[in-house]
Chains A and B, each alone.
Chain A
Amino acid sequence: AQSVAQPEDQVNVAEGNPLTVKCTYSVSGNPYLFWYVQYPNRGLQFLLKYITGDNLVKGSYGFEAEFNKSQTSFHLKKPSALVSDSALYFCAVRDPRGTYKYIFGTGTRLKVLA
């Protein structure tokens, strides 16, 4: 069965420092992987996705993520954090073989300190 884990409930980082939000997954075969962000009082917004191809995926707002098949990870990164990046981040996975079901992680709250 497919699953996704976000091991950190909260990540704190100082403004201007690099940030990483971790995600690991369990899918038999090659997964489809996504990151979404939920700002306070706003709906979830798409950041980026990995389907195939280059392992480094660039997305919205300067975020990127690296697909690592051997470690079954898809960590979200940004070189320099902004206070406005403070939000709830969700990783999601879909098994491409015969299912339309997306499995979301429990979310990681990112707090960027000024």
Chain B
Amino acid sequence: GAGVSQSPSNKVTEKGKDVELRCDPISGHTALYWYRQSLGQGLEFLIYFQGNSAPDKSGLPSDRFSAERTGGSVSTLTIQRTQQEDSAVYLCASSFAGVNEQFFGPGTRLTVL
């Protein structure tokens, strides 16, 4: 299929370790978003990419969180020195530029022990 894919689907890590989450957007989509979904919470916006640049990083919760996008395609979200409160489902979405529907990936469930 040609949907948004994310890997890994599940990640269990120990507190203090670094993790990398990957997102492969739909080909041709220039806009890419990362969200965090915690139990009982809505989706929390983390960062927005247009091409390889990130004009809006306002949702990154701390400097332990960073993201990059290369070749206008694949994006990685890195969380350094993970904490238990980082446990959540991390969702990636892509869209065409402008105010268009976002196509969401299945998410990565991160558990920090």
Contact = CB atoms under 8 A, between A and B. Distances in A.
B44 to A, nearest CB: 8
Nearest to A6: B42
A90 B106 contact: no
A44 B104 contact: yes
A104 B106 CA distance: 17
Given A45-B104, A51-B99, A102-B33, A90 B42 contact: yes
B99 A101 contact: no
B100 to A, nearest CB: 8
A102 B45 contact: yes
Interface string A79-110: 00000000000101010100111111111000
A39 B95 CA distance: 20
A43 interface: yes
B99 A99 contact: no
B99 A96 contact: yes
B42 A101 contact: no
Nearest to B4: A43
B104 A43 contact: yes
A101 B54 CA distance: 12
Contacts of A51: 99
A103 B91 CA distance: 14
13 contacts: A4-B42, A36-B104, A42-B106, A43-B106, A44-B91, A51-B99, A90-B43, A102-B45, A103-B45, A104-B35, A104-B42, A106-B40, A107-B42
Interface of B: 3-4, 31, 33, 35, 40-45, 48, 50, 55-56, 58-59, 91, 93, 99, 101-107
Given A44-B102, A90-B42, A96-B99, 9 more contacts: A4-B42, A43-B104, A43-B105, A46-B103, A101-B58, A101-B59, A102-B43, A104-B43, A106-B41
Interface of A: 4, 6, 32, 34, 36, 42-46, 49, 51, 90, 92, 94, 96, 99-107
